[in-house]
Amino acid sequence: MGFGWTIVALIAVLAVAWRFLGSYMAAVFEGRSRWLSFAERPVYRLLGVDPESEQSWRRYGASLIVFSGMALLVTYLIFRLQGVLPFNPQHLPGVTPALAWNTSVSFVTNTNWQAYSGETAMSYLSQMGALAVQNFVSAAVGIAVAVALIRGFSRRGAKTIGNFWVDLVRATIYILLPIAFVAAIIFMAQGAVQTLAGAAHIHDALNGVRQVIPLGPVASQEVIKQLGTNGGGFFNANGAHPFENPTGLTNFLSIVLILCIPVALTYTFGKMAGVTHQPAGNMEGKETRFGDTSSALYATASTQTSTGSVDSAEDSYTPMSGFAVLTGMMLGEISPGA
């Protein structure tokens, strides 16, 4: 697929995600979509949380800090004890204190800065139970905070902004897990590795060469690292490694996964905050006889050809529209008709 068609396909897919994933997320956080309630309810019982009870912004923030602190401690302990824990076929020792702390803070805060080579430093349990789990829950925390902010706009004067634990669970169960599950199957079908069997040992008797090829539960971690905008790869080479990103399709899907939730959240914001569409569009600075659409077309034609005539105020356009107009001014100066 050429570059142009790739861009077109990406825009089309993100447009669908913006509309339908954005609407779905609004339904999830407003409690209208409950198709996974059978999985949701046991988690609330385990946490001792009443899903119908909402929190003030102070309690919401305190719950977030408590959860992140516990996640930091559990992640650190898994790293330090990985040498005596299961799912360690390479018999890797525990991670050093400084590196364990650095990595724990990095992944719990969704920073995912890596100061280690994943295939030679982290056991399968560390990869699955610490890194991949934090890829999910740190992203869920970010989504929960965004949703709480939206409620803050839409509930002016209200004393509550939702329940952190409910938002965290719903972001994980209803949004991140289903998308990651489907995407992981696609990645595996394309050749991404997903195994607990341990590394492959190659012996080239003819040339007297032995080689150890690290393997592991890669596909499942790869998709959530993209979907949650985390970035922490299973291998040191990250997305350049063929076991993580084997084909052009997985490369394209990785881009989609990175962008789909941030793009969709803008629709979720409008849906939950009660923002309504203006039938007439952005009419500030526009001539009422022509409307917004014709004015935008006029501005595009004028700036792209370096003509300079206007039928609307160029500074009245939205930021992205203004970007297009300014770009047209620059390109128009070097066009054949200039």
CB 135 within 8 A of CB 180: no
Give the model's pLDDT for residue 131: 95
* Residue 283 falls inside a structural domain: no
| Calpha distance 237→275 (Å, rounded) | 43
Q: How many domains does the chain have?
A: 2
Query: Which residues, including other chains, have CB under 8 Å from residue 43's CB and lie 6 or more apart?
Result: 169, 173
Give the model's pLDDT for residue 275: 65
Is there a single domain that holds both residue 97 and residue 162? yes
Instruction: Return the half-sphere exposure (C-beta side, CA atoms, 13 A cut-off) of residue 291.
Output: 6
Instruction: Give the domain range for residue 317.
Output: 291-332
CB 304 within 8 A of CB 338: no
Q: 222, 206, 49: which is closest to 135 by C-alpha?
A: 222
One-letter amino acid identity for 234? F
Is there a single domain that holds both residue 46 and residue 187? yes
pLDDT in tens, the chain (338 residues): 566 778 889 999 999 999 999 999 999 999 999 999 999 999 999 999 999 999 999 999 999 999 999 999 999 999 999 999 999 998 999 999 999 999 999 999 999 889 998 888 999 999 999 999 999 999 999 999 999 999 998 888 889 999 999 999 999 999 999 999 999 999 999 999 999 988 888 887 778 888 888 899 999 999 999 999 998 889 888 889 999 999 999 999 999 999 999 999 999 998 898 765 555 677 888 877 878 788 888 888 888 777 778 888 888 888 778 888 888 777 765 544 44
For tokens 């014709």, name the residue: 294
User: Based on the number of CB atoms within 10 Å of its own CB, is 305 exposed (0-12), middle (13-18) or buried (19 or more)?
Assistant: middle
* Residue 29 falls inside a structural domain: yes
Is there a single domain that holds both residue 20 and residue 131? yes
Is there a single domain that holds both residue 197 and residue 69? yes
* Residue 87 falls inside a structural domain: yes
CB 283 within 8 A of CB 35: no
* Residue 284 falls inside a structural domain: no
Is there a single domain that holds both residue 23 and residue 165? yes
Is there a single domain that holds both residue 242 and residue 319? no
* Residue 285 falls inside a structural domain: no
Give the model's pLDDT for residue 338: 47
| Calpha distance 192→219 (Å, rounded) | 5
* Residue 337 falls inside a structural domain: no
* Residue 171 falls inside a structural domain: yes
Query: Which residues, including other chains, have CB under 8 Å from residue 148's CB and lie 6 or more apart?
Result: 57, 60, 161, 162, 164, 167
Is there a single domain that holds both residue 104 and residue 229? yes
* Residue 97 falls inside a structural domain: yes
pTM of the model: 0.80
DSSP one-letter string for 9-31: HHHHHHHHIIIIIHHHHHHHHTT
| Calpha distance 78→80 (Å, rounded) | 6
Q: 165, 103, 177, 144: which is closest to 268 by C-alpha?
A: 144
Is there a single domain that holds both residue 243 and residue 301? no
CB 269 within 8 A of CB 152: no
Is there a single domain that holds both residue 295 and residue 267? no
45 C-beta neighbours (distance < 10 Å), count? 8
Is there a single domain that holds both residue 303 and residue 248? no
Is there a single domain that holds both residue 223 and residue 120? yes
Is there a single domain that holds both residue 237 and residue 211? yes
